[in-house]
Structure 1
Amino acid sequence: MSRRLLVFLTVLLLAGCAYQDMPSAPEPTGPAPEPVPSGVLYGRVLRQDGRAATRSTVQAYQVSDEDTVRTGFAMFSLGLFCLVPGFCPSPVPAKVDDGGRFAFPAEKIKQVKHVTVTARHAAEDGQLAGAEVAVSFEHDPGTQQRVPDLRYWEPPVRVDGSGDRVTVAWPELPGGAEYALWTLAERGQPQPTGVTTRSTRAVLDLRPYEDQPTAVIVVASAKNFLYRAGSVALPAGSVPPSRGAGCQVGDAGKALVRAVSPCALTDGDLTTNAEVRTPCPDAASGCPQPTRHRICVDLATARGVSLVVYRTPFLSDGTIVELSTDGKRFRSVGHTAREAASDDVQITRISPPITARLACVRNDRFGFAGSVLDEISVW
């Protein structure tokens, strides 16, 4: 599978434009019947054991050459496909019958050459998200075509370990695959962890997820298929040493100013946009807050820093992570790459650890105006 196709399918499958309500009726126990030719695209969706997967939603995404040009930069470079209004081709749903069969009528399918069909299964008990599968293929407009079987991959995913790291293990997808780990919180979109492997086990650092309920998702890519196993809960991570710490703000070349306490960026609320404010010298003025280009978390005493995580739902291209012992001299330790600028969770690892009292984010181009960050966490 090409790198572009993999990124396209991953973002499409994991983020999607919208999740539909899932069917809840019990599924049949026998093997799924063969699909009956109908419409211009038809097929069936199955559980891993061959049963009809009737608790599924099926959609087709039609990507024209114009869509590819229009969305190419966002889809393949920023991973923003389906997350930016106007960039997501509208999906066409298909009804799944009691045999797991589906069909797309001719009037719903455009004259395009590239089609991706996805199937999403309802979450089982204890899951935040159920299994999903997607296939991308060349479509011959004007002909009746069978969609390759959409068979879910439902491996038993095992999570072992405690503390800051766990090992995630799973059986091999028949024929082999490339695997990646994603995470999903109770609120929010799936997020890439950066962990990819051809092995069937991987080590995951729990610190970026702190003490919030989080699940891990194993994604497998093979040929033109992308599979997502159902989510599995992770043990709670540790509370960062920065929890409850004070904040300081400033600009390059200027002294830092202590922010109002408590700091909303170290309060443990990982999903609410918050503003760091400085004391108001004149309440009558309404106390407008200037755009700051540097925001720092003050750890009170110098300590070894090995990980800095900041969260924002907005583009963070060009944001630099810095460390300082005195608030005067700053050392850059990480830079948000353009291809990662759409991720809500930005992770900078420092190895070996560097001693610092202040951990900062800096953006010289845009700065931090208003409530643009959710949290800054430091270990």
Structure 2
Amino acid sequence: MGDLTYWSFPTRIVFGIGAAEQTGVEATRLGAKRALIVTDKGVVGAGVLGGIERSLRGAGITWSIFDDVLGNPIEKNVHDGVRAFRESGADLVIAIGGGSPLDVGKLVRLGVNHTRPLADYDDAKGGDRYITSNVPPMLALPTTAGTGSEVGRSGVVTIDATHRKTVIFSPHLLANAAIIDPELTRGLPPFFTAATGFDALTHCLEAYVARGDHPMADGIAFEGIRLVARYIERAYARGDDLEARGGMLKASMMGAVAFQKGLGACHSLAHPLSSEHNLHHGLANALCLPAVCAFNAEVAGARLAEVGALLGGEASPRGCVDALRNLRSRLGLVSGLGEAGVPRESIDKLADLAFEDACHGSNPRPCSRDDLRALYEASF
């Protein structure tokens, strides 16, 4: 028997303007009576929860709110969320926000019935073997179009012991339903529209060129790149363009589905930038992606040429790199790590952490620690 490959795309998705009004209906489908809403203070302050709470009230479901989630989540956010779930008597997690609340929501549901230290579940160490189906149900409602965490099967958290962004991955962490409403992203400011959009683009692009055979992921990644190219600048320029907002939400979710194939060196570079210097993850990707594509050109040139053409540039690896830099500039993002406030003297530590990160394992061109250091240098 030859090598076998397993492919899976199972999430239930409710998509469209006004979809958030179905939260109560979806919670009832899951047999829930009391929900814990996992979110952050920015989402609460933006008034996003009002319609969702009305939907829950109409379905006879009570709820409490846990909003102590940081932009780059740490272990304490998860432990505090688990405590809130237990103390409130909840039987459902409703995660609302960007990638951070959605990731923490998944890890809260993990922690309810799984008692090992979070570090034990590190995917890079085979921690998925400890994750069972014994988790409470979850609904996921994204308010940004970037991580696609609403349809992903991983949560990312900075572990206390290592100060390293750690991926915890299992199909058991998939939300029972993703409710994707462009209205929830209407108020996203231009910077976050650009940065989260670049995260979606990076997921799609890295998955498309990643090592391995996954034609379903490749097709979805390619279409996700096309959607970003079509809609990101419209969403950036006119936040109330709901067609563009919806297009970016589709691209975001497609990126998260596609990267089950694998990511690459850009994510290994980006993760330490967030954990060490609190850089927005999408911005970190935007700053490192051109250099990574140039590095990968000799082994993934044909696919990078296709991406270059999709992004409106020349159909060549160089055209892809130039198109990414031009798009980054048009979206008002800074042009290098130095401009983003990263001190050059931190490169050696960052390179050590990036090499420990598992994402570069599926990069199309193998990366040494020195390669990753050079990519940081090229991103300044």
Q: Which of the five TM-score ranges fits, normalised by the shorter chain? A: under 0.3
TM-score, normalised via structure 1 length: 0.26
- Structure number with larger C-alpha Rg: 1
TM-score by length of 2: 0.26
